[in-house]
Amino acid sequence: MAERAEHKATERDSLRIGKLLARAGLASRRGAADFLRTHKVCVNGEPITELNYSLPVAELSACVLTVDGKKIHLESESRVLLFHKPVGVICSHRSQILRGKKLKTLFECLPAEYRAWFFAGRLDVSSSGLMVLSNDGDHIYTLSHPKHGVVKRYLVRTSRPLSPDECRRAEKGVYDKGEKLRFESIRALEKPAHYEILLREGRNREIRRVLERLGVFARELKRTDLGPYTLGDLKPGEFREVERILSE
């Protein structure tokens, strides 16, 4: 027990290079090895090539991190931002052209200080709702990776009401392009053709693809919850920082 307590204390007193890169919004700790191989990373002028490099937390404020010769700002704490993505905005760092029109990215909707952050739970251009962003790549990995089974809640209006049998099929699972897709649950709301849908994996356009296999289309799709984070009273285009909830 004493050894375990000492190990945890050491983790609190120092940050390994993977965590530093995550705090800088450059890579998750799981991607740190690849990042070190493909970039010249220096801490206080010292080239860093090994994952076991660590820096005392007390020295973080005086640390100078450079990547390929460019000075990188280091965050001292893990920060989380909630953003209500409007319809028509894409979840990407790069803008795209659709039908001859340039689409605005979610980062173009936010102040410049957030533009190197990671985001969890991509929403397609026709969907709206909660996006969770963080300067901590590991936290985003925990929220995003299917193995963690983080639940996501959506409010969906369909082109017609679903039958009880169609709802059961959606929960049991359907196949589309070789993938098995399924809802964790679907619950009819008071308004006709309005549903609450829960997902765990959240594959690409999963809700829309499941509904289309049932011969139905999503007229409106809004995410209200992602794990412990909720949209609350945020209006489209609004954002706010909140305390980090999930531990690593």
80-134+237-242: same fold as 2-72?
no
Right CATH for 2-72 from 3.10.290.10, 3.30.70.120, 3.20.20.60, 3.40.109.10 = 3.10.290.10
Q: For residue 112, report the phi and psi dihedrals to the nearest 5 degrees.
A: -60, -30
The pLDDT tens digits of the residues spanning 142-168 come to 898 888 889 999 999 999 999 999 999
| Residue at 79: amino acid letter | R
CATH number 3.30.70.580 given to 80-134+237-242: yes
**What is the C-alpha to C-alpha distance for residues 15 and 12, in angstroms, rounded to an integer?**
7
Domain ranges of the chain: 2-72, 80-134+237-242, 151-226
Residue 240 exposure: Cα atoms within 13 Å on the Cβ side: 10
Right CATH for 151-226 from 3.30.70.1560, 3.40.1390.10, 3.90.25.10, 3.40.1260.10 = 3.30.70.1560
The pLDDT tens digits of the residues spanning 15-55 come to 788 878 877 767 777 788 899 999 999 999 999 999 899 88
Residue 81 exposure: Cα atoms within 13 Å on the Cβ side: 23
- What does pTM read for this prediction? 0.77
8 Å CB contact between 54 and 16: yes
| Residue at 207: amino acid letter | I
Contact residues for 179 (Cβ-Cβ < 8 A; gap 6+): 203
DSSP result, 168-216: HHHHH-EEETTEEE--SEEEE-SSTTEEEEEESS--TTHHHHHHHHTT-
Residue whose tokens read 């390929």: 68
8 Å CB contact between 140 and 146: no
